[in-house]
C-alpha cells in the first residue's frame, strides 16, 4: 500500500496578520508536487485560522494546534473540536511535546483528545517522542510505545490519524535525528502498530518525522522507507518550507 507523503507546518505561537499573509502568499505562489503525491497541512495560531483558511490555496489544508478533550462548556481559554468543525478546519495537532512538557498533558489526556476529535470528524496529527534523558537511558521505544498505546486504547479506526514522531531533544535545538535514528524509531513504531492495531493499520498509517527538519536535511530523511513525511516547526515559517514539500519527489522516484 502506497502512503501519500505528508508535510505539516506547525507555526506555533508566531506571527502577526501581516506576517501570516506573507507566508501564505509564498505558499500560494510555490510550485510543488501535485496533491496526488504530497498532502500539505499548515497550522497557524488559533486567531489566524479563519484568514489562513480563506486565502490559502485549495490544495493545501489547515490544522489547529490543539483542541479540548470533550464538548465545549465552562472551559475558559479552550477551543472545542466542534468549533473547529464549525469553522471548516479539517485537521488538528494533538499531543505535541511542548504541551506534554510545559502544560503537563498526560498520555491519557492526549488519548482522550484524539478520541474526541476523531469522533467529531477531525483528522489528527498525533505526536509522540522522547526527551534526551529518555533516549540516553535507552527507553525511547518504551516511551513512544506508551504514548501510542494511550491513543490505540481509545480509537479503533486509524484512517484519519497521522502519527508524528518528534524527539524532544531535536525540536528547536538545531539537533536532528540522523536518518538511521529516525528510521529505526519509525520502523519500530510501525511494528508496534502491527502487533497492537493490526497489519492494515501498520501498513497504511503515515508516520512522519519532526525535529529541526530543514531544506538541507529533508531529502535524506525522506528517503528512509518508514518516514512518510514531516511535521516542520521553525522552517515552516520560511521559504525553505517549499524545499521540504518538494522532498516528496524522493519517495516518488524511490
What is d(CA 34, CA 39) in angstroms, rounded to the nearest whole number? 9
Q: Single out the catalytic residue among 39, 96, 130, 186.
A: 96
Whether 166 is catalytic: yes
CB 221 within 8 A of CB 178: no
Partner residues linked to 43 by β-bridges: 10
Burial category of 87 from C-beta neighbours within 10 Å (exposed 0-12, middle 13-18, buried 19 and up): middle
Count of CB atoms situated within 10 Å of the CB of 17: 10
| Alpha-carbon torsion (179, 181, 187, 189), positive or negative | negative
Q: Single out the catalytic residue among 39, 98, 105, 166.
A: 166
Contacts (Cβ under 8 Å, ≥6 apart) of 103: none
Q: Please provide the DSSP assignment of 161-179 as one string.
A: EEEEE--GGGSSSS----H
Residues acting as catalytic residues = 96, 166
Amino acid at each position: 500500500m502506497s502512503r501519500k507523503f505528508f508535510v505539516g507546518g506547525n507555526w506555533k505561537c508566531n506571527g502577526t496578520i501581516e506576517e501570516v499573509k506573507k507566508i501564505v502568499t509564498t505558499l500560494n505562489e510555490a510550485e510543488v508536487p501535485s496533491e496526488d503525491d504530497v498532502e500539505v497541512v499548515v497550522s497557524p495560531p488559533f486567531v489566524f485560522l479563519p484568514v489562513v483558511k480563506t486565502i490559502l490555496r485549495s490544495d493545501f489544508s489547515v490544522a489547529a494546534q490543539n483542541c479540548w478533550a470533550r464538548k465545549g462548556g465552562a472551559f475558559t481559554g479552550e477551543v472545542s473540536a466542534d468549533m473547529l468543525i464549525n469553522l471548516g478546519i479539517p485537521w488538528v495537532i494533538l499531543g505535541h511535546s511542548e504541551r506534554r512538557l510545559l502544560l503537563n498533558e498526560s498520555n491519557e489526556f492526549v488519548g482522550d483528545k484524539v478520541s474526541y476529535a476523531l469522533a467529531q470528524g477531525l483528522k489528527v496529527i498525533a505526536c509522540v517522542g522522547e526527551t534526551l534523558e529518555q533516549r540516553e537511558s535507552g527507553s525511547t521505544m518504551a516511551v513512544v510505545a506508551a504514548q501510542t498505546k494511550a491513543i490505540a486504547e481509545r480509537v479503533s479506526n486509524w484512517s484519519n490519524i497521522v502519527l508524528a514522531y518528534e524527539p524532544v531533544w531535536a525540536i528547536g535545538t538545531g539537533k536532528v535525528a540522523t536518518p538511521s535514528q529516525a528510521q529505526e524509531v519509525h520502523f519500530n513504531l510501525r511494528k508496534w502498530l502491527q502487533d497492537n492495531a493490526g497489519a492494515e493499520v501498520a501498513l497504511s498509517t503515515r508516520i512522519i518525522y519532526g525535529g529541526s527538519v530543514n531544506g538541507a536535511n529533508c531529502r535524506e530523511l525522506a528517503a528512509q522507507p518508514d518516514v512518510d513525511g514531516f511535521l516542520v516547526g521553525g522552517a515552516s515559517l520560511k521559504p525553505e518550507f517549499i524545499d521540504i514539500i518538494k522532498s516528496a519527489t524522493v519517495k516518488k522516484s524511490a
